[in-house]
Structure formats: structure tokens, C-alpha cells
Amino acid sequence: MRVLGRNLVDPFPEFWSDVKDDLFITYYDVTSGSEEVFGDQHFDSGSSVIPRWLTLPDKDLAYHVAHELTHLLLKSKGFPSVGRGVRYPENSAEAIVGSDLEELVVHQPLEWVIAQYGFTRDFILDTMYEGAKSGLSSGNVPGYGTPWFFTWAIRYAELSTILSPLEWKVLKNIYRSKSSDIVSLGEELRDIITKMDPGVPDLVLEAMVLCRNLMGLGVEDRILIIDNRNGEMF
């Protein structure tokens, strides 16, 4: 299988064979780099701009495409997502933090699915680590309880679960030098997501609600948790 002329190397063919019947997209949606699969990072045939993901090394490219497809797979199986009240626009702080929260929690079942196939993403993780180290070292500590405070804590929780122990030790020391409050919240968020069963939609939804409530963002419909099986919101 290819996407925009690039081969999707093993183990992508096996992955695609297993999941294609559960996805509401076509083979062409994948190979053409469509918006249905890649969202705002899709390939626009009327533009000369090449999506950044298309420049990834072969194994990382295969992982990335599988990652995007697994997001769709999880939604088709009823895993939860995040929304917000009508008073909060797309560019609001609530939208930004809500998106970060959804990624934090949903990436746990997502990576659980992908891990079964043996994908690797060394380049992606190296880039993520270097970017986080640079950003944390030079960034100003956000005020307690502000949207950026929550984003930093969410990022703490996610990075702690995906980086190597050596890389995480470096970043954790930077976090500690910046804010003990962010570290404390990040640790609590990490505890919630690492203790949940990533294969059960009900438990992932419960973990997402717990994380939202831990940050106090359930009031006034600032962040809503959506059960994609029935549309119910919490």
C-alpha cells in the first residue's frame, strides 16, 4: 500500500487488513492523503505544499498513518471524545485544553492497539523529546489554574508514558525546576490513565471524566465528555 507515492512498510499491510472493514473510509482516502484520514494535515491537490508527515522516515510514516487510522477506529468502536459548551468557540482556551485532554486519554487505547503490530516511531519520539526539552527550558511557567498550566500538566503525563526512562528523567528534572504544582497535577493525571483498562470504552470514558474533573473543568460545560456510542455527554 502507498500514500502519495510513499510505500507503507511492514507492519502496515497486516494492520490495514485487520482494521479496514471497521473504518468508514475508503482505500483511496488513505492513498490520497485525504482530509477524512489526515484532518487539517491532509494533502491538497490544488496546493504545492507537501504535508510534513510525508517527509517522515519509512517506519515512522507507517506508524503515523496507522495512528491516524486508529483514531477513526476507536471512534467507530464508541470510544469517547471531548466537546465543549456552545459558549466556547473553536479557538477558545476550553477547546485547546479539551483537545489536549482527549489526546492524553485516547492515546492510551490507541497505542495499545498499535503496539500489537510492532510499529516503531524512533524519529517521531526523538523529535518530540528535543522539542519538549527546548520548549520547557525556555518557556515561562504558566500561572496556576490557567489553560497553559493544564496543558503543561497534561503534557507531563503523556510524555512520562511514551519517552525512554533516560529521556523522561531529563524532562522530569526540568519540570521539577519549573513548577511543583504542574508536576503534582501531571502525576495525578498519569496515575489515572495508566491504571485504566485501555481496551474498554466505559473505563476510558470514566478515566477521561476523572481527568477533566481533577482539573476542575467540568463546570459551566467548559469541557464535555462525549460517549460516542449514544451521544450522551457528561
- pLDDT bin (cut points 50, 70, 90) of residue 120 is very high
Residue-wise pLDDT tens digits, 147-178: 999 999 999 999 999 999 999 999 999 999 99
Residue-wise pLDDT tens digits, 89-109: 999 999 999 999 999 999 999
Burial grade of 86 (CB within 10 A; 0-12, 13-18, 19 or more): exposed
Q: Please tell me the pTM assigned to this model.
A: 0.95
Cβ 221 vs Cβ 85: under 8 Å:
yes
Q: What is the mean pLDDT of the segment spanning 206-231?
A: 97
Mean model confidence pLDDT for the chain: 97
Residue-wise pLDDT tens digits, 47-57: 889 999 999 99
What does the pLDDT read at residue 2? 97
Cβ 123 vs Cβ 56: under 8 Å:
yes
Measured at the CA of 117, the angle between CA 113 and CA 119, to 5 degrees, comes to 100
C-alpha to C-alpha distance for 194 and 157, rounded to whole angstroms: 10
Residue-wise pLDDT tens digits, 34-86: 999 999 999 998 888 999 999 999 999 999 999 999 999 999 999 999 999 99
What does the pLDDT read at residue 76? 95
